[in-house]
Structure 1
Amino acid sequence: MTARKTNGTDLRTSPSLRRRRLGIALRRLREVSGTSRELAGARLECSPSKISRIENGDVGVRRRDLEELLDLYQLTDTEERAKLVDLARESRERGGWWIKYSDLPKAYLRYIEFESVARSIRWFEMSTIPGALQIPEFTESLIRGSDPTFTPEDLSRQLDVRRERQRTLTAPGGPDCAFVLGESAIRYRVGGDGVWRRQLQHLLELADRPNIRIQVLAFDHGAHEAMAGSFQIMHHHKPDPAVVNCEGFAGHFVMDDPVDVERCSQVFDRLSASALSPQLSLRLIAEAVA
């Protein structure tokens, strides 16, 4: 597959994913060597919590510190050491289009970075249209209704970010996207009747794209496993890890533990199997617009 690029940047990976991949490797080496985080922290003259942040990919690691850790973990394979050194260097490189929004909350910025380099996205949304599918008027009405403290400048910034995200997802060679929406997501008339109808029409148009599949989980299905909120599963090009983003009042929370990813994948598969087929889902949306 040809890599997607934005402004010359290879969008198959990202600095944050490289840090995560490096952290996974360092955690594995530490555990295999029987070294505690306390001992590793003492070697670098830092706290065990910093070792944890390195292993979680939250912070990078300097080459000198990396070499110290690899010595402590008794890694003698020169080829593997060289790969990890290169990975640490690459994790410090600048990323794609999202770097110009560095003033945004860190968790949200990391989420859109993971989204922008994904090869596939599985997205469940209980009660609203996903941001990647929203028209600007819908986004504006949603933000104003959910957070009245937003300034005009904040709102303009959010609309710019949404446009960039949508451009990435809908560009040629974009990720394979599967959306399962709770029926309430298409029933809430956010922005009034006119905006709501244009938003639903936009969904119908997006569903014509070969990389986008939309399903609706009907009201009459009853209770299900994901009634508490929304989540997105983002698979990346190997060897970068898949991640799950959960979103709520507290913001974005990203998980990359393979057990968590697999559990969420199974939940999504069951939701998709319980939802209306793509054809029946689009018919339901079209009938709502009519």
Structure 2
Amino acid sequence: MSAAQPSSDPSLRRYLDHPRGGPTVLRIVLGTQLRRLRESAGITREAAGHTIRASHAKISRLELGRVSCKERDVADLLTLYGVTDSAARATFLTLARRTSTPGWWHQYNDVLPSWFETHLGLESAASVIRTYEVQFVPGLLQTAEYARAVAQLGHPTATAEETEQRVGLRMERQRLLALPDAPRLWAILDEACLRRPLGGPEVMPGQLRYLIETARLPNVTLQVAPFALGGHAAAGGPITILRFMEPDLPDIVYLEQLTSALYLDKRDDVDHYLAVMDRLSAQAESPRESLLILERLLKQES
């Protein structure tokens, strides 16, 4: 094994044996490992790009896990970085091959924006998901009827088939919470999204009942930020923070916009949003009191 050979080969094997998160996570892991190898070898992005007949910008995207990579390119980079051990190279090349494997969400590609695919992969791999919502109930906690109303609101010209595909995608996402190694979901809901009668009076009672049921799951913590709270730390809008057990995956802040999303992983940015979520969770009602609020709202809707 050369001096540049990574010591985390067993870690890479774990990702191959248990590819939770699909190609999204595999791309990030592979990119992180390749960046470490390049830096350890003292090689610039420009030199690495020249080796695979690409620009330094492509190397940057590859190392950030934004793009899949060809096996030939990875093989050339491993040679450049001094990785000669055959077993290690085989693991890297298998990882590269699997970054192009479609995720479970591939069947919904007709209605799935490319910027949201990354979120689905990260969500599937997360060990903790912290989220704050102000306008809608979080997607992981929506009933099919509520999800349908959200889809029709956001895509008023969509066909009935496209709407049902969007609903199906949302329901498929929720299977995550029932897995044996399900992540912990910690959701803070602004009172506004609970009182807004999305889908009409026949939809909200079912949505509230579902929130009450889900809030009792051992891996779900639900808090309500009431109107009486006034202004609060998360005044800027919805926030989701994803945390992972894997050392190669940093905490990531997901900020969804109307037609795009931001993914923040710089430590300063993540720390800022973590502090915001911590303050908000301290200001919001306790899980026990939040459950009572939901029950009171359900009585008002019934």
One of 248, 260, 263 as aligned partner of 2:272: 263
Partner residue of 2:12? none
Q: TM-score, normalised by structure 1?
A: 0.86
d(CA) in 2 for partners of 1:130, 1:230: 9
Aligned partner of residue 75 in structure 2, secondary structure: helix
Secondary structure of the residue that 2:202 maps to in structure 1?
Answer: helix
Which residue matches 1:249?
Answer: 258
Residue 81 of structure 1: CA displacement? Answer: 5.0
Residues 68-109 of structure 1, C-alpha deviation per residue, up to 9 Å, x if partnerless? 2234344567776555344324434444x3232233222212
Count of residue pairs brought into register by the alignment: 281
Which of 88, 93, 96 is equivalent to 1:88? Answer: 96
Cα distance in 2, alignment partners of residues 149 and 189 from structure 1: 21
**Residue 48 (str. 1) matches residue 56 (str. 2):** yes
1:201 corresponds to: 209
* SS of 2:201 mapped into structure 1: helix
Question: Partners in 2 of 1:267 and 1:117 — Cα distance?
Answer: 23
| CA deviations over 1:1-35 (Å, ceiling 9, x no partner) | xxxxxxxx956342211110111222233344443
Q: Aligned runs of 1:144-159 on 2, under 5 Å?
A: 144-159=152-167
Contact 1:229–1:247 (CA under 8 A) maintained in structure 2? no
Q: Aligned-residue CA RMSD in angstroms?
A: 2.5
How far apart in 1 are the matches of 2:283 and 2:170?
29
State, as a whole percentage, how many aligned pairs show the same letter: 38
In 1: Cα distance, 2:273 partner to 2:94 partner: 32
- Matched residues in 2 for 1:11 and 1:130: separation? 25
Give the counterpart of 2:232 among 202, 217, 224. 224
**2:291 paired residue among 259, 277, 282:** 282
**In the alignment, does 2:108 pair up with 1:101?**
yes
Report Cα offsets for 1:135-189 as digits up to 9, x if no partner: 1221222222233122212101101101111122234442211101112111111
The 3-state SS of whatever aligns with 1:280 is: helix
| Residue of structure 2 in register with 1:115 after alignment | 123
SS at match of 1:190: coil
Query: Larger RCO: Structure 1 or Structure 2 (Cα < 8 Å, ≥ 6 residues apart)?
Result: 1
Contact 1:13 1:237 in 2 (8 A): no
| Structure 1 unaligned regions, length at least 5 | 1-8
Within 2, Cα distance between the matches of 1:21 and 1:203? Answer: 35
How far off is 1:243 after superposition? 2.7
